[in-house]
Copies of this chain bind each other. A is one copy, B any other.
Amino acid sequence: MVNGLPGNMSSEVLNVVLQRELPVVPYSLTAENQKEFSYHSKVSNQPITLLRPSQRASEIEKILQDYPRLIAVDYTHPDAVNSNALFYQKYGIPFVMGTTGGDREQLIQSTVQSNVYAVIAPNMGKQIVALQTMLNKMAQSFPGVFQNYRLQVTESHQQTKADTSGTAKEMIQSFVKMGAHFEYDKDLRMIRNPVEQQQELSIPPEYINGHAFHTYRLTSPDKSVQIAFQHNVLGRNIYAQGTVDAVVFLWNKIQQKASQKLYNMMDVLTEQISNN
Protein backbone atom coordinates (compact mmCIF):
# COMPACT_ATOMS: atom_id res chain seq x y z
CA MET A 1 0.00 0.00 0.00
CA VAL A 2 1.77 3.10 -1.29
CA ASN A 3 0.54 6.14 0.61
CA GLY A 4 0.98 9.71 -0.51
CA LEU A 5 -0.36 9.37 -4.06
CA PRO A 6 -0.43 11.28 -6.34
CA GLY A 7 2.79 12.74 -4.87
CA ASN A 8 6.02 12.50 -6.86
CA MET A 9 7.86 10.20 -4.50
CA SER A 10 5.00 7.76 -3.92
CA SER A 11 4.26 7.67 -7.68
CA GLU A 12 7.87 6.66 -8.28
CA VAL A 13 7.66 3.98 -5.58
CA LEU A 14 4.46 2.65 -7.13
CA ASN A 15 6.21 2.42 -10.51
CA VAL A 16 9.06 0.41 -9.00
CA VAL A 17 6.64 -1.90 -7.17
CA LEU A 18 4.80 -2.54 -10.46
CA GLN A 19 8.04 -2.95 -12.44
CA ARG A 20 9.23 -5.54 -9.95
CA GLU A 21 5.82 -7.23 -10.27
CA LEU A 22 5.09 -7.09 -6.57
CA PRO A 23 1.40 -7.05 -5.53
CA VAL A 24 -0.14 -3.59 -5.02
CA VAL A 25 -3.00 -2.69 -2.71
CA PRO A 26 -5.31 -0.45 -4.79
CA TYR A 27 -5.73 2.16 -2.05
CA SER A 28 -3.56 5.07 -0.98
CA LEU A 29 -3.79 7.52 1.91
CA THR A 30 -3.84 11.05 0.59
CA ALA A 31 -4.33 14.61 1.87
CA GLU A 32 -7.75 15.87 2.99
CA ASN A 33 -7.69 18.62 0.33
CA GLN A 34 -6.83 16.24 -2.52
CA LYS A 35 -9.16 16.87 -5.47
CA GLU A 36 -8.72 13.55 -7.28
CA PHE A 37 -10.47 10.39 -6.05
CA SER A 38 -8.29 7.89 -7.84
CA TYR A 39 -4.83 7.60 -9.35
CA HIS A 40 -3.60 5.75 -12.44
CA SER A 41 0.05 4.74 -12.67
CA LYS A 42 1.81 4.94 -16.02
CA VAL A 43 2.87 1.32 -15.55
CA SER A 44 -0.50 -0.28 -14.78
CA ASN A 45 -4.16 0.15 -15.72
CA GLN A 46 -5.42 -0.58 -12.25
CA PRO A 47 -6.81 2.54 -10.54
CA ILE A 48 -5.72 3.31 -6.97
CA THR A 49 -8.47 4.73 -4.75
CA LEU A 50 -7.31 7.77 -2.77
CA LEU A 51 -8.41 7.82 0.88
CA ARG A 52 -8.61 11.09 2.83
CA PRO A 53 -7.92 11.13 6.60
CA SER A 54 -11.67 11.53 7.23
CA GLN A 55 -12.44 8.33 5.26
CA ARG A 56 -9.61 6.04 6.13
CA ALA A 57 -10.81 4.71 9.49
CA SER A 58 -14.05 3.45 7.97
CA GLU A 59 -12.28 1.81 5.02
CA ILE A 60 -9.18 0.24 6.53
CA GLU A 61 -10.82 -2.80 8.14
CA LYS A 62 -12.30 -3.95 4.86
CA ILE A 63 -8.93 -3.35 3.14
CA LEU A 64 -7.15 -5.40 5.82
CA GLN A 65 -9.64 -8.23 5.32
CA ASP A 66 -8.81 -8.30 1.60
CA TYR A 67 -5.06 -7.69 2.08
CA PRO A 68 -4.24 -9.00 5.56
CA ARG A 69 -0.49 -8.98 4.98
CA LEU A 70 -0.15 -5.51 3.49
CA ILE A 71 2.86 -3.31 4.17
CA ALA A 72 2.39 0.47 4.03
CA VAL A 73 4.91 2.77 2.38
CA ASP A 74 4.61 6.38 3.52
CA TYR A 75 5.67 9.31 1.35
CA THR A 76 3.13 11.85 2.48
CA HIS A 77 3.85 15.18 4.18
CA PRO A 78 6.00 16.11 7.20
CA ASP A 79 2.77 17.25 8.92
CA ALA A 80 1.24 13.79 8.52
CA VAL A 81 4.24 11.69 9.66
CA ASN A 82 3.16 11.20 13.25
CA SER A 83 -0.59 10.80 12.69
CA ASN A 84 -0.01 8.33 9.85
CA ALA A 85 2.39 6.31 12.00
CA LEU A 86 -0.19 6.21 14.79
CA PHE A 87 -2.77 5.01 12.25
CA TYR A 88 -0.51 2.12 11.08
CA GLN A 89 0.31 1.26 14.67
CA LYS A 90 -3.35 1.23 15.72
CA TYR A 91 -4.23 -1.27 12.97
CA GLY A 92 -1.02 -3.31 13.31
CA ILE A 93 0.14 -2.40 9.79
CA PRO A 94 3.89 -2.80 9.19
CA PHE A 95 5.26 0.32 7.48
CA VAL A 96 8.21 1.84 5.69
CA MET A 97 8.40 5.53 6.59
CA GLY A 98 10.21 7.52 3.92
CA THR A 99 8.55 10.82 4.72
CA THR A 100 10.97 13.19 6.46
CA GLY A 101 10.12 15.71 9.16
CA GLY A 102 7.50 15.45 11.87
CA ASP A 103 8.44 14.72 15.45
CA ARG A 104 11.05 11.99 14.90
CA GLU A 105 11.49 11.15 18.55
CA GLN A 106 7.78 10.64 19.01
CA LEU A 107 7.70 8.60 15.79
CA ILE A 108 10.35 6.18 17.04
CA GLN A 109 8.84 6.01 20.52
CA SER A 110 5.29 5.23 19.37
CA THR A 111 6.62 2.63 16.92
CA VAL A 112 8.62 0.85 19.60
CA GLN A 113 5.61 0.87 21.95
CA SER A 114 3.23 -0.40 19.26
CA ASN A 115 5.41 -3.41 18.50
CA VAL A 116 4.65 -3.06 14.78
CA TYR A 117 7.36 -3.97 12.22
CA ALA A 118 8.80 -0.83 10.59
CA VAL A 119 11.67 0.63 8.60
CA ILE A 120 12.15 4.31 9.38
CA ALA A 121 14.82 6.19 7.41
CA PRO A 122 15.13 9.77 6.23
CA ASN A 123 17.20 8.70 3.19
CA MET A 124 16.23 5.57 1.27
CA GLY A 125 19.06 5.86 -1.29
CA LYS A 126 21.09 2.79 -0.35
CA GLN A 127 24.23 3.84 -2.21
CA ILE A 128 24.22 7.29 -0.63
CA VAL A 129 23.58 5.84 2.82
CA ALA A 130 26.50 3.43 2.30
CA LEU A 131 28.74 6.35 1.33
CA GLN A 132 27.69 8.35 4.39
CA THR A 133 28.25 5.35 6.64
CA MET A 134 31.66 4.73 5.13
CA LEU A 135 32.84 8.30 5.63
CA ASN A 136 31.48 8.29 9.13
CA LYS A 137 33.47 5.13 9.87
CA MET A 138 36.56 6.58 8.20
CA ALA A 139 36.30 9.61 10.51
CA GLN A 140 36.20 7.26 13.49
CA SER A 141 39.15 5.18 12.30
CA PHE A 142 41.42 7.93 10.94
CA PRO A 143 40.46 11.18 12.66
CA GLY A 144 43.58 13.09 11.61
CA VAL A 145 44.08 11.80 8.11
CA PHE A 146 43.08 15.06 6.38
CA GLN A 147 44.74 17.37 8.91
CA ASN A 148 45.38 20.77 7.33
CA TYR A 149 43.58 19.79 4.14
CA ARG A 150 40.98 22.28 2.91
CA LEU A 151 37.48 21.03 2.14
CA GLN A 152 35.32 22.68 -0.50
CA VAL A 153 31.77 21.59 -1.20
CA THR A 154 29.42 22.29 -4.08
CA GLU A 155 25.83 21.13 -3.94
CA SER A 156 22.99 21.67 -6.38
CA HIS A 157 19.30 21.08 -5.74
CA GLN A 158 15.99 22.34 -7.12
CA GLN A 159 15.43 26.09 -6.74
CA THR A 160 12.72 25.60 -4.07
CA LYS A 161 15.18 24.02 -1.62
CA ALA A 162 16.25 26.91 0.60
CA ASP A 163 18.47 25.19 3.16
CA THR A 164 21.79 23.35 2.80
CA SER A 165 21.56 19.69 1.85
CA GLY A 166 21.27 17.54 5.00
CA THR A 167 23.40 14.86 3.37
CA ALA A 168 26.11 17.44 2.63
CA LYS A 169 26.04 18.65 6.24
CA GLU A 170 26.55 15.11 7.53
CA MET A 171 29.38 14.41 5.08
CA ILE A 172 31.07 17.73 5.94
CA GLN A 173 30.95 16.73 9.60
CA SER A 174 32.81 13.50 8.80
CA PHE A 175 35.53 15.32 6.84
CA VAL A 176 35.95 17.90 9.60
CA LYS A 177 36.42 15.03 12.06
CA MET A 178 39.21 13.81 9.77
CA GLY A 179 40.95 17.14 10.30
CA ALA A 180 39.81 19.03 7.20
CA HIS A 181 39.38 22.78 7.43
CA PHE A 182 35.94 24.00 6.34
CA GLU A 183 34.06 27.28 6.68
CA TYR A 184 30.40 27.33 5.65
CA ASP A 185 30.52 30.92 4.39
CA LYS A 186 33.67 30.43 2.27
CA ASP A 187 33.88 26.77 1.34
CA LEU A 188 30.27 25.87 0.53
CA ARG A 189 28.70 26.69 -2.78
CA MET A 190 24.94 26.11 -3.07
CA ILE A 191 23.65 26.17 -6.63
CA ARG A 192 19.94 26.86 -6.97
CA ASN A 193 19.92 28.76 -10.27
CA PRO A 194 18.51 26.59 -13.12
CA VAL A 195 20.73 28.30 -15.71
CA GLU A 196 23.90 27.46 -13.78
CA GLN A 197 22.60 23.94 -13.19
CA GLN A 198 22.13 23.36 -16.91
CA GLN A 199 25.29 25.10 -18.07
CA GLU A 200 27.80 24.17 -15.38
CA LEU A 201 26.54 20.81 -14.22
CA SER A 202 24.88 19.66 -17.47
CA ILE A 203 21.70 18.74 -15.62
CA PRO A 204 19.02 17.83 -18.18
CA PRO A 205 16.07 20.29 -18.19
CA GLU A 206 13.61 17.62 -17.00
CA TYR A 207 15.63 17.19 -13.79
CA ILE A 208 16.11 20.85 -12.88
CA ASN A 209 13.26 20.44 -10.38
CA GLY A 210 14.44 17.10 -9.00
CA HIS A 211 18.14 16.44 -8.54
CA ALA A 212 20.75 16.26 -5.79
CA PHE A 213 24.35 16.86 -6.88
CA HIS A 214 27.18 16.90 -4.34
CA THR A 215 30.93 17.33 -4.76
CA TYR A 216 33.38 17.32 -1.84
CA ARG A 217 36.95 18.28 -2.68
CA LEU A 218 39.89 18.00 -0.27
CA THR A 219 43.11 19.82 -1.12
CA SER A 220 46.43 19.36 0.70
CA PRO A 221 48.18 22.46 2.11
CA ASP A 222 50.74 22.47 -0.75
CA LYS A 223 47.94 21.73 -3.28
CA SER A 224 49.78 18.66 -4.58
CA VAL A 225 47.01 16.29 -3.49
CA GLN A 226 43.30 16.47 -4.33
CA ILE A 227 40.81 13.91 -3.14
CA ALA A 228 37.21 14.23 -4.26
CA PHE A 229 33.92 12.47 -3.64
CA GLN A 230 30.86 13.01 -5.76
CA HIS A 231 27.30 11.73 -5.56
CA ASN A 232 24.95 12.97 -8.21
CA VAL A 233 21.33 11.89 -8.36
CA LEU A 234 18.83 12.77 -11.06
CA GLY A 235 15.19 12.26 -10.15
CA ARG A 236 13.88 9.91 -7.52
CA ASN A 237 14.45 6.40 -8.80
CA ILE A 238 17.35 5.58 -6.42
CA TYR A 239 15.15 6.41 -3.42
CA ALA A 240 12.19 4.44 -4.81
CA GLN A 241 14.41 1.40 -5.43
CA GLY A 242 15.75 1.59 -1.87
CA THR A 243 12.21 1.96 -0.52
CA VAL A 244 11.03 -1.17 -2.29
CA ASP A 245 14.14 -2.99 -1.04
CA ALA A 246 13.08 -1.91 2.45
CA VAL A 247 9.57 -3.30 1.86
CA VAL A 248 10.99 -6.66 0.73
CA PHE A 249 13.36 -6.63 3.72
CA LEU A 250 10.45 -5.95 6.10
CA TRP A 251 8.35 -8.68 4.48
CA ASN A 252 11.16 -11.16 5.14
CA LYS A 253 11.51 -10.03 8.75
CA ILE A 254 7.78 -10.51 9.28
CA GLN A 255 7.90 -14.03 7.76
CA GLN A 256 10.86 -14.85 10.00
CA LYS A 257 8.97 -13.44 13.01
CA ALA A 258 12.17 -11.52 13.82
CA SER A 259 12.46 -10.31 17.38
CA GLN A 260 13.79 -6.91 16.26
CA LYS A 261 10.88 -4.92 14.85
CA LEU A 262 12.24 -1.42 14.15
CA TYR A 263 14.87 -1.02 11.43
CA ASN A 264 16.71 1.63 9.47
CA MET A 265 18.31 1.71 6.03
CA MET A 266 21.63 0.45 7.43
CA ASP A 267 19.85 -2.74 8.47
CA VAL A 268 18.47 -3.15 4.95
CA LEU A 269 21.96 -2.63 3.52
CA THR A 270 23.62 -5.03 5.93
CA GLU A 271 20.99 -7.71 5.31
CA GLN A 272 21.89 -7.80 1.64
CA ILE A 273 25.31 -9.23 2.54
CA SER A 274 23.93 -12.57 3.59
CA ASN A 275 21.74 -12.71 0.48
CA ASN A 276 24.64 -12.13 -1.90
Contacts and interface: CB of A to CB of B under 8 A. Distances in A.
Interface of A: 125-127, 130-131, 133-135, 137-138, 141-147, 149, 179, 218, 220, 222-235, 237-238, 269-270, 272-273, 275-276
Given A137-B137, A220-B238, A237-B222, A227 B142 contact: no
Contact of A231 (B227, B231, B238, B273): B227
Nearest to A222: B237
B229 A228 contact: yes
A273 B141 contact: yes
Contact of A145 (B127, B146, B218, B237): B127
24 contacts: A125-B225, A126-B145, A127-B146, A127-B218, A127-B227, A130-B138, A130-B141, A130-B142, A131-B227, A134-B135, A134-B138, A143-B272, A143-B273, A145-B272, A147-B276, A220-B237, A220-B238, A222-B237, A224-B238, A225-B231, A225-B232, A225-B238, A228-B232, A229-B229
A142 B270 contact: yes
Given A137-B137, A229-B229, A142 B224 contact: no
- Interface hub of A125, A223, A224, A232 (most chain B Cβ within 10 A): A224
B270 A144 contact: no
A135 B138 CA distance: 10
A144 B222 contact: no
A254 B247 CA distance: 55
B238 A276 contact: no
A134 B134 contact: yes
